[in-house]
Structure 1
Amino acid sequence: MDRSRRNFCLGAGAATVGAATLAAAPADAGAVSASGDAAHRWAMVVDVRKCVGCQACTVACIMENDVPENSFRTIVSTYEVTEQGKAGSYMLPRLCNHCEDPPCIPVCPTGATYQRRDGIVVVDNSVCVGCAYCVQACPYDARFINHETQTADKCTFCVHRVEAGLLPACVETCVGGARIFGDLKDPDSTVSKLVREQNPKVLKPEMGTQPRVFYIGLDPKMQGKVDGTPTLWRPAPHADKEHA
């Protein structure tokens, strides 16, 4: 089955490299629950050994979620590293970690940032006042103020797609199969098996936030690297802005 198909339905039981089976699509696939379903705990595993830094995930996220120019819900940061006298590149895919203990929630003065029962951390834009307290509180540099809406913005695991029985856009478009998404509460899911068997790492474990984005093959030196310059791709400034 072609993983690039936008209508890839996981509820039918199909799975490919980089994919994990989700529940069947609800009757009202267009509806997104504000509270989520506690029967699930969604998570992502990133195999950095398979990431080629193509930024397909970044582009897919921008298109799927209408992310404004020069802002990112997910991105692959590229680092130049030197080992045994040889220079090379290290790819670190990054996004909101949907932590078990999210530090962004208690600092929000309006309750706009909250965690659904399935673990996905979201922002209620109708309540957010754009104070950026959550942006500052996030230890993973995974939030930003959307300059079009003037409210906090971030990865949501493409919650609207998940509730329709689809993969997050970044997972569906990952050409190397480096991103795997699924339900930690399902012991037979690919994500659960990888977490049990591969002993994946998390970013900044010392923060005690219990991230639910896990990394296979993560160099320990990169666990604290949450900011970096994506050197392989960056959206070009709009032409009329350049000449304004």
Structure 2
Amino acid sequence: MKFLQKDETLCIQCHICEETCAQTFFKSGDREKSSIKIYDEPGEKGEVINVCSQCGECIGICPELAIYRAKNGVVMIDKEKCVGCLMCVGFCPTLSMRIHKEFLEPFKCIACGQCAKQCPTKAIELKNID
């Protein structure tokens, strides 16, 4: 299973990971389009780095069955099936489902690791466990 492991003690809040994510998936420097969120102060869950843990809790809540776990363990959203009801956003226990005014569907981290490659302090690392 692929997931991003975080060490918030190493995070210097440079936001490079957010910029990298937005650029990778939306070809935009708009950090609001990032699937990872860095809080300058601890966020709602008391954390600095917020990213999907790939827990899968959102899978069963989707009425359209648009959310599934891929073979590599990553929770994915099928944009063809998603109707934009945003139930997954409200249900996400880690507050890691993202929305943006330009998109009907929510989006989330798919553990691609691009943010980890760009993190200058290694506060985020891509992990793969069996």
CA contact (8 A) 1:51 1:91 kept: no
State the shift of 1:124 in Å.
0.5
SS at match of 2:103: coil
CA contact (8 A) 2:54 2:73 kept: yes
For residues 126 and 146 of structure 1, the distance between their equivalents in structure 2, rounded to whole angstroms, comes to: 18
Structure-2 residue corresponding to 1:92? 48
How many residues of Structure 1 are paired with residues of Structure 2 in the alignment? 125
Structure-1 residue corresponding to 2:57? 103
1:131 matches 2:85:
yes
Higher helix share: 2
Higher strand share: 1
Structure-2 residue corresponding to 1:178? 123
Higher mean displacement: 170-179 or 59-68: 59-68
For residues 132 and 91 of structure 1, the distance between their equivalents in structure 2, rounded to whole angstroms, comes to: 23
RMSD: 2.0
CA contact (8 A) 1:52 1:91 kept: no
- Listed one character per residue, the Cα deviations across residues 28-87 of structure 1 (whole Å, up to 9, x for unaligned) are xxxxxxxxxxxxx1122212221111011011001001177434310211227xxxxxxx
For residues 57 and 45 of structure 1, the distance between their equivalents in structure 2, rounded to whole angstroms, comes to: 13
1:54 matches 2:14:
yes
Structure-1 residue corresponding to 2:105? 151
CA contact (8 A) 2:19 2:34 kept: no
For residues 126 and 144 of structure 1, the distance between their equivalents in structure 2, rounded to whole angstroms, comes to: 17
Q: Which has the larger radius of gyration?
A: 1
For residues 149 and 45 of structure 1, the distance between their equivalents in structure 2, rounded to whole angstroms, comes to: 27
Structure-2 residue corresponding to 1:241? none
Q: Percent identity?
A: 26
Listed as ranges, the matches of 1:58-97 within 5 Å are 58-66=18-26, 69=30, 70-79=32-41, 92-97=48-53
Larger relative contact order (CA 8 Å, sep ≥ 6): 2
1:169 matches 2:110:
no
User: When the two structures are superposed, what TM-score results if normalisation uses the length of structure 2?
Assistant: 0.85
- Listed one character per residue, the Cα deviations across residues 69-116 of structure 1 (whole Å, up to 9, x for unaligned) are 434310211227xxxxxxxxx9711111101xx221111011111111
SS at match of 1:122: strand
Alignment counterpart, residue 68 of structure 2, candidates 111, 114, 120: 114
Change (3 A) 1:91 1:146: closer
Structure-1 residue corresponding to 2:3? 43
- Listed one character per residue, the Cα deviations across residues 164-219 of structure 1 (whole Å, up to 9, x for unaligned) are xxxx110010011111212112xxxxxxxxxxxxxxxxxxxxxxxxxxxxxxxxxx
CA contact (8 A) 2:4 2:51 kept: no
Change (3 A) 1:76 1:145: closer
Higher mean displacement: 44-53 or 125-134: 44-53
Which runs of at least 4 in structure 1 moved beyond 6 Å after TM superposition? Answer: none
Corresponding letter in the other structure for 1:98: Q
Change (3 A) 1:71 1:64: closer
User: When the two structures are superposed, what TM-score results if normalisation uses the length of structure 1?
Assistant: 0.47
* Structure 2 segments unaligned to the other structure (5+ residues): none
